[in-house]
Amino acid sequence: MSSRLPVSRSRRISLLSVSTYRITLTPKLFFSTDHLPPVYKNNPNLLRGYEAAKTITAELLSGTKAAAVEVLMNAFGLAISAVQRPLSRGYNPADKTMMIEAGKWTRRYWQNPVLARFSPVEVTPGVAAQTDKETVHALLKQDALTIIFAHQSGTCSMLPDKYGGCVRSDLRVYGTKKLSIVDASIIPLVPATHMQATMYAVAEKAADIIKLRNIFWRSVKKMV
Ligand SMILES: Cc1cc2nc3c(=O)[nH]c(=O)nc-3n(C[C@H](O)[C@H](O)[C@H](O)COP(=O)(O)OP(=O)(O)OC[C@H]3O[C@@H](n4cnc5c(N)ncnc54)[C@H](O)[C@@H]3O)c2cc1C
């Protein structure tokens, strides 16, 4: 067996792989608007879209095929956990639970006897933090919690208007004729991945859509 650790390893794992915690859409979780930002309160379209996203996310999280968290590790012992399928629009307690479960999984991983020869020492949140409350408190105190993993997306979702969408399937913004959006903001559901390759695919598809527009108008002009 090699005594070297891989330089950098990123694993995306399902919720059921890190924990027995299962997302269940209790009426409280499903219908609660307690934690939503004010903009959702009087906007039935946005609420409908959020509920649809929540249903899909809960389904994905209840199986073993979709990633719930990413755990990124490298040779000098840095281990970062990132929630991949957040339910929060503002805040949702399920996301906090997923984050804590990912941290516990990382702790268990480093306790594996195979890794003992590297004498790992937990720095963050530190072994003093054992309960969930202590863990969150320690992470906040050490400034070790960030809101996003540099993968912003979904602020102008490509969705039907009745789900609070911003962009039509032809990339045009609702209510406009000449304004199109092609970037990570049009992705309606946060993908469990780093975004660059996904954005290359979105851009390729968008180029086809835009070229088709020109072909259409050129043939219309020829006909008149
Ligand atoms: C620090 C960091 C590290 C990352 N690491 C990775 C990684 O390792 N792997 C990975 O897969 N993803 C990574 N990502 C994520 C990935 O880079 C982004 O998700 C992706 O680039 C988003 O693509 P985009 O087309 O939406 O936006 P961008 O790539 O930001 O493209 C937007 C473009 O629009 C231009 N622009 C903005 N405003 C205007 C304007 N008014 N007029 C004209 N042009 C304008 C900008 O200059 C830019 O070129 C990382 C992101 C960050 C911030």
2 in a domain, yes or no? no
Same domain, yes or no: 60 and 108: yes
The pLDDT assigned to 222 comes to 80
Pick the last residue of a domain from 141, 175, 200.
141
The torsion of the CA quartet 29, 150, 160, 87, rounded to 10 degrees, works out to -10
The pLDDT assigned to 1 comes to 41
Contact between 33 and 72 (Cβ < 8 Å)? no
Q: How far is the CA of 186 from the centre of ligand 1 (A)?
A: 13
* Residues in contact with ligand 1 (CB, 6 Å cut-off): 150-151, 183-184, 194-197, 199
Same domain, yes or no: 134 and 174: no
Token pair 């516990």: residue: 104
Same domain, yes or no: 80 and 119: yes
The pLDDT assigned to 11 comes to 83
133 in a domain, yes or no? yes
Domain span holding position 73:
8-141
Contact between 125 and 139 (Cβ < 8 Å)? yes
Same domain, yes or no: 127 and 190: no
Same domain, yes or no: 111 and 34: yes
Shortest-distance atom of ligand 1 to CA 202: 25
Same domain, yes or no: 41 and 125: yes
Q: Give the pLDDT confidence of 28-71 residue by residue, as tens digits.
A: 766 678 889 999 888 999 999 999 999 999 889 888 889 999 99
Q: How far is the CA of 147 from the centre of ligand 1 (A)?
A: 17
The pLDDT assigned to 7 comes to 54
- The pLDDT-based confidence of 3 (bands split at 50, 70, 90) is very low
Shortest-distance atom of ligand 1 to CA 185: 26
Nearest to 212 by CA among 161, 154, 172, 185: 172
**Poorest-pLDDT segment among 18-27, 150-159, 173-182, 191-200:** 18-27
Active site residue 151: yes
pTM of the model: 0.85
Same domain, yes or no: 27 and 113: yes
Q: Whose CA is nearest to atom 52 of ligand 1?
A: 150
156 in a domain, yes or no? no
The pLDDT assigned to 53 comes to 92
Nearest to 64 by CA among 13, 137, 134: 13
Nearest to 48 by CA among 173, 164, 169, 188: 164
Q: Give the pLDDT confidence of 148-159 residue by residue, as tens digits.
A: 788 889 999 999
Shortest-distance atom of ligand 1 to CA 203: 25
Same domain, yes or no: 31 and 135: yes
**Tally of domains in the chain:** 2
Q: Give the pLDDT confidence of 106-164 residue by residue, as tens digits.
A: 998 888 898 888 888 999 999 999 999 999 999 999 999 988 788 889 999 999 999 99
Residues in the chain: 224
